[in-house]
Structure 1
Amino acid sequence: MTDIAQLLGKDADNLLQHRCMTIPSDQLYLPGHDYVDRVMIDNNRPPAVLRNMQTLYNTGRLAGTGYLSILPVDQGVEHSAGASFAANPLYFDPKNIVELAIEAGCNCVASTYGVLASVSRRYAHRIPFLVKLNHNETLSYPNIYDQTLYASVEQAFNMGAVAVGATIYFGSEESRRQIEEISAAFERAHELGMVTVLWAYLRNSAFKKDGVDYHVSADLTGQANHLAATIGADIVKQKMAENNGGYKAINYGYTDDRVYSKLTSENPIDLVRYQLANCYMGRAGLINSGGAA
C-alpha cells in the first residue's frame, strides 16, 4: 500500500481513503471470479458467448480475478503505421504485437483484421483474439472523423477470435449510422458466440467549451455507456471521467440535478462509479481506456 500511496502522491488520501456516499456498492454488479455465473447468466446471450467471456477472464496475469487487461493495437490504421511503429519498427510485424500481449500476461489482444489474420493460425489458440471491426483513418485529405467497417463478423469468427470490437463516436453527425451498423454486427457476433466490446467515445467540437473538454464528462460519457449497453455491448470501453456537468455547460439534452447532487461527487472514484451505473449497474462490464497512444 505504501508504494501505491507514493505513486499517487498528493492525491493518495483523496483516493485511498475515499468512502462513497453516492451509489451504494451493493447495487452494483462488481468484478469477481464468478462474474459470468453471477451476472451474465441472467442475459439472453448464447452459451458460446458465456464460454468465450470466461475464456477472457481465465487468461493472463489477471486470470480468476474478474478483471481484464486488453492490449489494443489498432494505431497503424488510426494514427498511421509510420507514426505508431517508427520508434520500434519490429511492431510493423503483427507477430510481435501478439507476442507482446502474451509476454505481458494480457487477457486478450485487440487489433485490426489484417494484423490478427496474418498470424491467427500460429496464435489464436495461445491468447484470445479481439478483432476490431471498424476504424477511423487519417490518410484521407482533408481528414475526416468517422468510423468505417473494415471487416465482417464472419471474418473474425473464421480466424478463431473470441470477441469483436467497434467504436462509435457518440454525439457526432455520423453516430446514427454507426449505431445501426454496430448494433447489427453485435447481433451477428452473439449468434456466432463471440463477446462484443464497444469503444463508446464522444466526438463533437461543441463538447469543448470555455477551456473544458467535456468529452470526458461523467454525465455525457455515462450516457454513451448506456447507449453502448443498449445495443448489446458485453464490455464498454470508456475514457475515465475527468469532470462533470457536460449537459449543463453545453446546454443541450436532458439531465437531472440529482445526477450531480446525489449520484456523483467531485471525487474521480464517484465519477467512474456513475459511468459504471450507466452500464446497467455493471451488467455490462466497464474497462477504462489506457489514455492517448
Structure 2
Amino acid sequence: MTDIQGLLGDEADDLLAHTAHGIPKEDMVLPGPDFVERAVAVSDRSPRVLRNLQSLFDHGRLAGTGHLSILPVDQGIEHSAASAFAANPRYLDPGNVVELAVEGGCNAVASTLGVLGAVSRRYAHRIPFIVKLNHNELLTYPNHYDQVMFGDVEQCFDLGAAGVGATVYFGSEQSDRQLQEAREAFARAHQLGMFSVLWCYLRNPAFKKDGVDYSVSADLTGQANHLGVTIEADIVKQKQPENNGGYLALGFGRTDERLYDKLTTDHPIDLTRWQVANCYMGRVGLINSGGASAGKGDLAQAVRTAVINKRAGGTGLITGRKAFQRPTAEGIALLNAVQDVYLDDDVTVA
C-alpha cells in the first residue's frame, strides 16, 4: 500500500486528524458499499440508470467501496492535442487511453465521443464508458471560451456508454445556454438508462481579484455544485477549493456570514465539506479533479487531494494529466496510489 503519511509530509497530522464541526459527518449521506441502494434508489432514477450506476461503483480496484477513481482524457480538445499529448504521444491512440484506465484499476474512463467510439466494440464491455458530450475548443481565433455539443445522447447509447458527461462554465455569458443543453442531455440520458456527470466549473475573468482566483472558492464552487444537482446530475465533478469568500470579495450575489464563521473554516477539509454539502449533503457524489501535471510532485499532490476529498465525505477523484503525461507504469502507479487512499480504512471521514 502507498505510504500516505509519508507523502503528506508535514501536513499529515493536520489532514488525517482533523475533525469537521461546522457540518458534522452524522448529517451527511456518506459513500459506502450500499450507496446506490441507500441514496439513489429512492430517487426518480429508472432501474436501468441504477444498474449502470451500480456497474460504475462495482468496477476496478475500488469496487464495492462506494468510491470512484476515473480516468478523464478530453484534454486534446479542451487544451489542444499538442499540450495534452506531446509529453506522451502514445495516448493519441484511443486504445491506449482505455487500456490505461483498465490497467490502472479505474472505475471508468471518461473521454470524447470520438475516442470512445473508436474502440467501443473492443472495450465497452470491459470498463464503463462516460462520454463527454460538450467541449471548449481553442482553434477559433481569437480564442473564445464556450462549451458546445460535439455529439448527441443517442450516439453515446449506441456505442455502449454507461454514462454521459457535460461541462457548464458557471458565471460565463453562455452559462444559461450550456445549462439548458446539459439539462436536456441528462434528461434524455436518464430515459435511455445512462447516468450523468456534470463538470461544474466557474469561468469568468471577473472571478479573479487582487491576485486571488475565486473561481476555486468554496462558496462559489459550492453554489455551482448546487446548480448542477438541480438538473439531476448523478455525479458532480469540481475543482477542490483553495480559498473562500468569493461572494464577499467580488461583491455580488447573496450569501450568509454563517457560512464563513460557523459552517466552514480555512481548513481544506472543511472547505471541501461545503462542496459535498451542496450536492444534497452527499446524496449526489462529489469527485474532485486531479489538476494539471507539475512533474515530480504529482504523486504527493494527488494523494493529498484524495485524502481531503475522502475525509470531507467526497466520492472520489478524476485524475487525467497526472496519469497519462508520464510513462505508463508511472501513470498506473499514480492511479493506484490515489485508489489506496480510498482503500485505507485508517483514512476516515472527518
Q: By the TM > 0.5 criterion, same fold?
A: yes
Superposition deviation, residue 4 in structure 1: 2.0
Equivalenced residue count is 293
Rounded to whole Å, the distance in 1 between the matches of 2:10 and 2:234 is 36
Q: Quick one: which amino acid aligns to residue 70 of structure 2?
A: I
Q: Which residue of 2 aligns with 1:158?
A: 158
Rounded to whole Å, the distance in 1 between the matches of 2:249 and 2:206 is 10
SS for the counterpart of 2:41 is: helix
Q: Which residue of 2 aligns with 1:85?
A: 85
Q: Quick one: which amino acid aligns to residue 9 of structure 2?
A: G
Q: Which residue of 2 aligns with 1:291?
A: 291
Q: Which residue of 2 aligns with 1:244?
A: 244
Rounded to whole Å, the distance in 1 between the matches of 2:287 and 2:84 is 23
Q: Which residue of 2 aligns with 1:278?
A: 278
C-alpha contact (below 8 Å) 1:236/1:285 kept by paired residues: yes
Structure 1 residues 257-268: aligned runs within 5 Å: 257-268=257-268
Q: Which residue of 1 aligns with 2:117?
A: 117
Q: Quick one: which amino acid aligns to residue 57 of structure 1?
A: F
Rounded to whole Å, the distance in 2 between the matches of 1:83 and 1:270 is 34
Q: Which residue of 2 aligns with 1:226?
A: 226
> Unmatched 5+ residue regions in structure 1?
none
SS for the counterpart of 2:200 is: strand
Rounded to whole Å, the distance in 1 between the matches of 2:86 and 2:254 is 45
Superposition deviation, residue 2 in structure 1: 9.7
Q: Which residue of 2 aligns with 1:30?
A: 30
SS for the counterpart of 1:42 is: coil
C-alpha contact (below 8 Å) 1:14/1:267 kept by paired residues: no
Q: Quick one: which amino acid aligns to residue 26 of structure 1?
A: E
Rounded to whole Å, the distance in 1 between the matches of 2:41 and 2:245 is 35
- Are 2:103 and 1:103 equivalent residues in the alignment? yes
SS for the counterpart of 1:111 is: strand
The root-mean-square deviation of aligned C-alpha atoms, in Å, is 1.1
- Are 2:195 and 1:195 equivalent residues in the alignment? yes
TM value normalised by structure 2: 0.82
Q: Quick one: which amino acid aligns to residue 18 of structure 2?
A: H
Rounded to whole Å, the distance in 1 between the matches of 2:121 and 2:210 is 51
Q: Which residue of 1 aligns with 2:170?
A: 170
Q: Which residue of 1 aligns with 2:55?
A: 55
SS for the counterpart of 1:130 is: strand
| Cα distance per residue 1:220-272 (max 9 Å; x no partner) | 00000000000110000000011100000000000000111111111100110
SS for the counterpart of 1:70 is: strand
Rounded to whole Å, the distance in 1 between the matches of 2:87 and 2:291 is 19
Q: Which residue of 1 aligns with 2:316?
A: none
Superposition deviation, residue 34 in structure 1: 0.3
Rounded to whole Å, the distance in 2 between the matches of 1:10 and 1:2 is 17
Superposition deviation, residue 3 in structure 1: 2.9
Superposition deviation, residue 98 in structure 1: 0.4
Rounded to whole Å, the distance in 2 between the matches of 1:3 and 1:162 is 33
Identity %: 67
SS for the counterpart of 1:160 is: coil
- Are 2:67 and 1:67 equivalent residues in the alignment? yes
> Unmatched 5+ residue regions in structure 2?
293-320, 322-350
Higher RCO (CA < 8 A, seq sep 6+): 2
Rounded to whole Å, the distance in 1 between the matches of 2:48 and 2:240 is 30
Superposition deviation, residue 144 in structure 1: 0.5
Q: Quick one: which amino acid aligns to residue 182 of structure 2?
A: I
TM value normalised by structure 1: 0.98
Superposition deviation, residue 92 in structure 1: 1.4
Rounded to whole Å, the distance in 1 between the matches of 2:150 and 2:115 is 12
Superposition deviation, residue 82 in structure 1: 2.2
Superposition deviation, residue 83 in structure 1: 2.1
Rounded to whole Å, the distance in 2 between the matches of 1:73 and 1:272 is 24
Rounded to whole Å, the distance in 1 between the matches of 2:132 and 2:4 is 33
Q: Which ranges of 4 or more aligned residues in structure 1 deviate by more than 4 Å?
A: none
Q: Which residue of 2 aligns with 1:212?
A: 212
Rounded to whole Å, the distance in 1 between the matches of 2:46 and 2:115 is 28
Rounded to whole Å, the distance in 2 between the matches of 1:259 and 1:83 is 39
| Cα distance per residue 1:163-212 (max 9 Å; x no partner) | 00000000111000001111011000000010100000000111111111
